[in-house]
Amino acid sequence: MSYNDFRTQVTYMVTVIENDLEKLKSLAEDANGKISTMSSTTTNETTKAPGDWVGQSQESRTLINVSRCTIPIAMVCFSVIDMMGQWMKVKHDDDFGSSAHTFFAELAGRNELSNEDRKQKIKEYFRHGVMHSFFMRERCSVAYPPYDTNTLFVDFEINKCTMDVRFLLQVVQTGMKNMLTYLEDETNPKAQQAFNGHQIWEQAH
C-alpha cells in the first residue's frame, strides 16, 4: 500500500467513526437532559456490572430505562485506541494497555495512562470486560456525566471505580483529528510511524 492510499484509507475510517461517535454523543447528551428531569438527586448515574445491580434504589431502577449509550461509546473508543495505538507503538505487540498509553500520549497528548496501574485498570477492568462480555468487571462502572470531569477515572461511589466515557470520547476524537493532521505531511515522523506501524499491524491481522 502506498502512503497516499494509506492516508486516504485513514481519512475514510476517521470520517465514518467520527460520524458514529457524534451520533452516540448526541444520544448520550439527550438522555442526560431527560434524566435531569426524572432524578430527585444530583448523583451521577452510572452503568454498572450486572453483579453490582443488586440492591439498587428504585430511582436507579427507573433510570436504567434511559440509555446514555455509555457502553457502545466505550466500545468504539476502545477499538480506535487499540488500532491506532498499535500503529504508533515502537514495540509492536497486541497489549491493549501499552496501545492505550501510546494513543493517549502520542496522538492525544495526554498522560493519564503513564503509570502501570492505570494501564492495567483500563485494560483488565474496562476494555476486556466491555469488549468480551459487554459489561465491565464488578465494582467498576462507566458514566457519561453531564459536565466535564477532565479525568479518565472518577470516584462517584466509595470503593468503586468509574470510567468517564465523556472524557474518553474527547481523547479519542482529539487523537483521530491529530492523526489526520500528521498524515498531511508525509515527512512528519509521526506520520511515518503510523504508516509503518499500519503495515506491521495489517500483516499481523
Query: What is the tens place of the pLDDT at every residue in 15-46?
Result: 999 999 999 999 888 877 665 555 444 445 67
Look up residue 117 and give its three cell numbers: 496501574
Question: What pLDDT shows up at residue 185?
Answer: 96
CB-count exposure of residue 109 (10 Å: 0-12, 13-18, 19+):
exposed
The burial class, CB within 10 Å (0-12 / 13-18 / 19+), for 13 is middle
Q: Are 69 and 28 in contact (CB under 8 A)?
A: yes
Point out the residues of the chain with pLDDT beneath 70. Answer: 33-45, 48-67, 156-159
> H-type helices in the chain, by residue range?
3-38, 58-63, 70-88, 96-102, 116-120, 128-133, 165-183, 189-204
Dist. CA 100–CA 122, nearest whole Å: 8
Who contacts 114 (Cβ-Cβ below 8 Å, separation ≥6)? 101, 105
Task: Indicate the pTM of the whole model.
Answer: 0.87
At 162-190, the pLDDT tens digits run: 899 999 999 999 999 999 999 999 999 99
